[in-house]
Structure 1
Amino acid sequence: MVGATLCIYEGSLVYPEKLSFWNFTDEHEIDHVGAGAAYYIANQQFDLIKPRYQPKTIGSTGSPLPPQTFCWLQQQFPQAQIISLSGGTDVCSAFLSGNPLLPVYAGEIQCLTLGSKIEAYNENGESVKNEVGELVITLPMPSMPIYFWNDVDNEKYLASYFDKYPGVWCHGDWIKFTEHDGIVVYGRSDATLNRGGVRIGTAEIYNIVNTFSEVADSLIICLDHEDGTSTMPLYVQMRDGILLTDELKAAIKLKLRKSYSPRHVPDDIVSVPAIPYTLSGKKLEIPVKKIMMGAPLEKAVSVAVLKDPKSLDFWLNSL
């Protein structure tokens, strides 16, 4: 970072015009650009980027970057390295990131960051490869928290990270290490959809829904019932002026079935005014699920972390 100039964009990325962010990067000839995966996905849907300046790297975080968006970004910026990265506010750092000396595979994060020992654990606490497992940190990182404020006997701290695998930090994401040591992130493990015993990452659903230009955003949950059955609704935020039709519902379901399996098909697709996010850009899948299971708002999520508290009104009013 010696000799570098930090350029910070403040405000909406698409105001006062849709290309405001890219005009900013062009104007200042920014070499290393970073934004959220959701922003890149929206750019792809509407083919918005018209770059004049070619940066050296394009960084993506906040949620998994779909393979098709990887490829599209590479077409827009043929000289840039596309870097998807992942980490956590909890550890004040990224632990999965890029390396200019390694090849880039669409849909994968290239490597672990320095100082991080990341593995994928199965339900028996065994390290696995080419298999989806829990993202765990098996050795301490310098930036890890060692306790929570006002947490008597560290009860909340231990329950948050060390309950599933004693002595091992369980971060709460589903990941897979590939045959060439890349990493695929599937989303939050506590938001994983369980259909007939088959675990489905929410990112798999979003990868398909994102290909429909009529849909601005989406959120999916799986609700378990006392009789052992489950319901999997898909909530979609439509583009301005576009309605959710039966034909579009059928098209989304058909593409999910063909791309993955019948278990990936939602039981219902519902139009909502907005998809709720945290201030750090995380979809509120778990809080929405808790609300739909009857939990009051204060038990489901801290309002202080919400980007727009009103975005939960649809679910609160539907009970």
Structure 2
Amino acid sequence: MRRQTAWVMWVLNFVNICSAKSLLLYDGSPFHPTPGVLLKLAQDIGVSIFGTSPRYLAEIRARGIVPRNSFNLERLRTVTSTGAALSADMYNWFYETGFSPHVQLVSMSGGTDIAGSFVGGSPLLPVYAGEIQTKALGMAVEIFDPSQDAGVPVELRDLPGELVCTRPFPSQPLEFFGVGGNERYRKSYFERFGDTVWCQGDFIQFQKDTEGLIMLGRSDGVLNPSGVRFGSSEIYAVTEVFPEIEDSICVGQRRKSDIDERVLLFVKMKTGQAFTADLATRLQLAIRKRYSSRHVPKHVFEVADIPYTVNGKKCEINVKQIVSGQVGAVSGTVSNPSSLDLYREYANLPVEGEKSEAGSSKL
């Protein structure tokens, strides 16, 4: 049977084999035939490094699975997570409830085209909730001001910016395969700051007090109401603590008729839980309290499903294009493409100042 291999995790499996390590790969749903099947395998085989994703950790937490109480994972020393930002709340659950405090939780971020990571973990450094520990070895990672074209570092100013690599690195590709590969390669990574700076397209922030890094999401998905830039991961850190919410997706909306961008938050409720105006208000108040009034979504809506890629990433760009009235091709990597149709009606929301749609709530 043919399987999709167009993701960095496939390549990293070969790296592990080259290091003379044994691998355990599981094909199928991580919750079938039982919700704890992966953890049971980790127990029975004595797995020492467990690779997963924020969505998997959120799912086992939502299902009430407590690995350190239900499984013998004494040989487990590291849990690695990638594919999306790992919230501070998930770190807290991991160490306070889910796993042994002696296990290192490593959040990392890189790319398929580089077959590696730009930022990741180190056993020599402390772990801080919501933060990636350090820059990867051999990678000249910096953070550039997104408002400047000349490539101005913002790292020392403790501000969010574009994740860039200012020097060549061992796994850097020469070009893309196929006709026009070199042009597509240059446009993808070197158009933003010139031919000598690799711009990954991720929004990230350096923390001066801990020297850690906070991944805020894709640059083209960064929320920017009234010129205030922040990542969707900040909003998810709030929605994750509401027990009645199963999942959420947060995007910016700016149509031709809109003067400014506004933030829309969509939530999927757990079975048996009702979406109410009171819930929307409590969400907005919690976001305001944790961050600022600029972070508060203009509207909160209930949806029946959240679109994901086959790799477990939320399809924020697709939803953003749809609610902004843009026509974009739907990638074959979307695992539930029909869910995107649920968002088309929101492209017709009233412009700012007009009467709000029923079913939304705003402060």
TM-score by length of 2: 0.81
Query: Does residue 53 of the first structure (1) align with residue 76 of the second (2)?
Result: no
* Aligned CA-pair RMSD: 2.0
Displacement of 1:67 after TM fit?
A: 1.4
Deviation at 1:79, TM superposition (A): 1.6
1:15 aligns to what? 32
d(CA) in 1 for partners of 2:205, 2:260: 28
Q: Secondary structure at the match of 1:232?
A: strand
After superposition, what is the alpha-carbon deviation per residue over 1:110-161, rounded to whole angstroms, capped at 9, x for unaligned?
1222221111011331122222110001112232232233453833322221
SS of the residue corresponding to residue 211 of structure 2 reads coil
- Equivalent residue, structure 2, for 1:219: 249
Amino acid of the residue matched to residue 23 of structure 2? Answer: L
Residue in structure 2 matched with residue 269 of structure 1 by the alignment: 300
Q: SS at 1:38's partner residue? A: helix
1:66 alignment partner in structure 2: 87
Pairing of 1:1-319 with structure 2 (within 5 A)? 2=19, 4-51=21-68, 52-54=72-74, 55-75=76-96, 76-122=99-145, 123-124=147-148, 125-129=151-155, 130-152=158-180, 154-167=182-195, 168-179=197-208, 180-225=210-255, 226-296=257-327, 299-302=328-331, 304-316=332-344
Measure the CA separation in 2 of the matches of 1:146 and 1:208. 41
Determine which structure has the larger strand proportion and give its number. 1
Which one is further off, 154-163 or 128-137?
154-163
- The answer to whether the 8 Å contact 1:290/1:300 transfers is no
**Corresponding residue SS for 1:95:** strand
| Superposition TM-score, scaled by structure 1 size | 0.92
Maintained 8 Å contact 1:56/1:81: yes
CA distance in 2, matches of 1:197, 1:250: 24
Q: Number of residues paired by the alignment?
A: 316
1:251 corresponds to which letter in structure 2?
R
| Higher deviation after alignment, 150-159 or 11-20 | 150-159
Shift of 1:276: 1.1
Partner SS for 2:92: helix
Go from structure 1 to structure 2 and tell me whether the alpha carbon gap of 1:142 and 1:293 turns closer, same or farther (over 3 Å shift): same
Q: Is the 8 A contact 1:96 1:113 kept in 2?
A: yes
Letter in 2 for 1:126: V
Listed one character per residue, the Cα deviations across residues 165-198 of structure 1 (whole Å, up to 9, x for unaligned) are: 0121111111122224321111111111111111
**Aligned 8 A contact 1:175 1:184 in 2:** yes
C-alpha contact 1:46 1:213 (8 A) present in aligned 2: no
Tell me how far apart the structure 2 counterparts of residues 279 and 165 of structure 1 sit (CA, whole Å): 31
> Is the partner of 2:58 in helix, strand or coil?
helix
CA distance change for structure 1 residues 141 and 199 in 2, over 3 Å: closer, same or farther?
Answer: same
**Structure 2 segments unaligned to the other structure (5+ residues):** 1-15, 348-363
Percent of pairs identical after alignment?
37
Q: Give the CA deviation at 1:231.
A: 2.9
3-state DSSP of counterpart to 1:103:
coil
